[in-house]
Structure 1
Amino acid sequence: MKILVIRFSSMGDIIYTTPVVRCLKKQIPGAEIHFLTKPAFQYIYDSNPYVDKLLLLKPALSATIDEIKAERYDYIIDLHNNLRTAIIKLRTGIRSSTYKKQPVKKWLSLKFKLKLIPPTHLVDRYLKAVKFLGVVNDGQPIDYYIKANHQLNNLLPAAHRAGYVAFVIGATHFTKRMPNDKIISICRQLNNPVVLLGGNDVKANGDIIAGEIGTKVYNACGITSLDESVFLVSEAKSIIGFDTGLTHIAEAFNRPIVSVWGGTVPDLLGVQPYMVKDVLVAGIELSCRPCSKFGLEKCPLGHFKCMNDMPEDGIVQFTNK
């Protein structure tokens, strides 16, 4: 049996397709599993042993459709469910099963602060699309494979190579990020050295935080590559992070995780930490929360209470234990 699984974006959503791919490969004897995504997210499936071939979305959708037709798949498993995947399914005529997004219920839940979406994890929602093949959840974490043989002594100062806390301070949108002064306050209360992780967009934030605290904090933002950052979270004593891809990738390594949520909420998206034994999901109840599904560039009401008023004690106690 030859199966194509499709998910174009984003990092977190693709990370949560990995249990589906693994279950398909391991539970269907002789199955050949291909995966189609955008070139920007190729790294998620590089080195994944459960994917026999990785297809990358081409600039012209017709070229991708021609490639799919040439492969002669038995099934398409559509885990994206958008206009492009609908066109692919229509024009290839291949039997398919599609992940149900429930956009109306999500919109109503967001707009009117209703809880119409059960707190079912995205992985389990995805797995419903392959249930017809007899595939079931294997109860294992997400998969992520580090690409190179990194060494801590090449990436961190000597004082930060053992028992450090990885603090992922980056996130795409402002309302997902904790303010610098809040991060500084938390870092001061931690018993272990701290390594700040994120991209170039938060390097200046990291410099401010490290500058305020001193040598206890090492700012690796904008210095380490994504693969090196993943290696660093895999070796950390524990991880603190926001609703962002690196925090979700960290779930592959079963380290204690504090998952911090501001203007977004995990239940609406179904992306609370998956199959991690030791987890704290931090967030506060507010009438204005969630303000969006994916984050905003500023707080709509101007007060940003979801992060400014976030209690620190629980985060610190969990991380220090």
Structure 2
Amino acid sequence: MKILVIHTAFIGDIVLSTPLIQRLKDMYPESEIDYLTLPSNQSVISNNPNLNEILLYDKKGKDKGVKGFLRVLKILKQKKYDYAVIPHRFIKSILLAKLAKIPNIVGFDVATGSFLLNKKVHYDMKKHEVERLLDLVEYKGEKIPIRIYPVKENFIKIDKILKNHGYFGNERQKLILVAPGSQRAEKMWPIEKYRKVIERLKKNKNYFIGITGSKVEKELPLNFENDKNVIDFRGKINLVEFGALISRADIVVGNDSSPIHIASGFEKPFIIGIFGPGKRSLGFFPWTEKSNVIEDNEFYENNIVKIPERQHKYRKDYYKGIPLIDVDRVYDEIIKHI
């Protein structure tokens, strides 16, 4: 069987789909599973042993418009897939599968173009996004973890950078990763507050603080060049290397964005999510019990198993919560789990 997953969303969404990939391979061990996504998402699912091929659809770049759509469609037609699973909830993704004449196409009932699907699955807002994606294949079993697959070279590169800054991973030393950015600016806790947290943490010379992010996020004003125990990784490592870095970390703290989802794929770090407009009740909180979410200056422990009684509604003041979260709350939470 030849299976195609189509998901051209943000990096965090792709990370959350890795349990779905695993489940598809478990269900159809002899199948070939291909994954169609954006070029910017490629590295985070590279080396995944369950994938046969990663296909790229640069819909915001060279594949923008009808010409690019037809280029991708031609490739999909040639592949002659038997089955398409579409987590992406937009008609263009469904239309690609339909026009490629894939006989069995499953997606969500809330998707635009859902009328083109052979099978529509209810998108349950009360569930975590990973659980919703697994609903596409009717999975109700034990939790399937998120998985990212760094290779030996990734670990070698990360360990070299850490050792050059004096971090050797002994029991006294602690590695704290701070991910201050997001592709959506309204989800970002104020940079000045991140700065204050780092200023307080770096006073302890056994704490090594890694600032992570893309080249674009290098522009965020967090400059600590003169501090030996603050390491700026922004723009210097790719997403799989970031996974290798996370595997060495004790704490990962960041916004409602891809770093906390990637961190959910590794056993060691404790994850602290700072949530504003995303609202953990929308189902995109860390997929691990070693995590806490700070939201609107409230706090939900072990949020994978404990659902708060009061759910936040999607309302006009949706974007106002995250600046209200104070520095003490985040700093104290880091120290608590260090």
| Cα distance, 1:201–1:52 mapped onto 2, change above 3 Å | closer
* SS at 2:195 equivalent: helix
1:166–1:195 contact (8 Å) kept in structure 2: yes
Partners of 1:238 and 1:309 lie apart in 2 by: 16
Aligned to 2:259: 246
Give 2:247's match in structure 1, choosing from 228, 234, 255.
234
| Deviation at residue 272 of structure 1 after TM alignment | 0.7
Report the RMSD for the aligned CA atoms in angstroms. Answer: 3.2
Aligned to 2:126: 119
Q: Which amino acid aligns with 1:71?
A: K
Give 2:330's match in structure 1, choosing from 290, 312, 317.
312
Aligned to 1:113: none
| Deviation at residue 266 of structure 1 after TM alignment | 2.4
Aligned to 1:84: 92
Aligned to 1:143: 147
* SS at 1:150 equivalent: helix
Residues 184-195 of structure 1 aligned to structure 2 (within 5 Å): 184-190=195-201, 192-195=207-210
| Deviation at residue 305 of structure 1 after TM alignment | 3.4
| Deviation at residue 188 of structure 1 after TM alignment | 4.5
| Deviation at residue 195 of structure 1 after TM alignment | 1.4
Aligned to 1:111: none
Relative to the length of structure 1, the TM-score reads: 0.79
Partners of 1:304 and 1:252 lie apart in 2 by: 25
Q: Which amino acid aligns with 2:265?
A: A
Residues 102-117 of structure 1 aligned to structure 2 (within 5 Å): none
1:65–1:88 contact (8 Å) kept in structure 2: yes
Partners of 1:206 and 1:260 lie apart in 2 by: 19
Residues 133-172 of structure 1 aligned to structure 2 (within 5 Å): 135-147=139-151, 148-151=153-156, 152-156=158-162, 157-162=164-169, 163-172=174-183
| Cα distance, 1:55–1:138 mapped onto 2, change above 3 Å | farther
Aligned to 1:108: none
Q: Which amino acid aligns with 2:19?
A: P
| Cα distance, 1:38–1:180 mapped onto 2, change above 3 Å | closer
Partners of 2:252 and 2:199 lie apart in 1 by: 16
| Deviation at residue 117 of structure 1 after TM alignment | 6.5
Partners of 1:15 and 1:122 lie apart in 2 by: 11
Deviation string, structure 1 residues 194-253 (Cα, Å, up to 9, x no partner): 111122333354644x36x94442222233343333321121112111122222111111
Deviation string, structure 1 residues 42-81 (Cα, Å, up to 9, x no partner): 2122111111222222622222222222222221111113
* SS at 2:54 equivalent: strand
Partners of 1:181 and 1:214 lie apart in 2 by: 18
What is the percent sequence identity of the aligned residues?
Answer: 22
Residues 1-321 of structure 1 aligned to structure 2 (within 5 Å): 1-57=1-57, 59=63, 60-93=68-101, 94-101=103-110, 118-131=125-138, 135-147=139-151, 148-151=153-156, 152-156=158-162, 157-162=164-169, 163-190=174-201, 192-205=207-220, 207-208=222-223, 210=224, 214-254=227-267, 255-268=269-282, 270-274=283-287, 276-284=288-296, 305-308=323-326, 311-312=329-330, 314-320=332-338
Alignment length, in residue pairs? 295
| Deviation at residue 313 of structure 1 after TM alignment | 5.5
Higher strand share: 2
Q: Which amino acid aligns with 1:139?
A: K
| Cα distance, 1:20–1:267 mapped onto 2, change above 3 Å | same
Q: Which amino acid aligns with 2:277?
A: G
Where structure 1 has 5 or more consecutive residues not aligned to the other structure, the ranges are 104-115
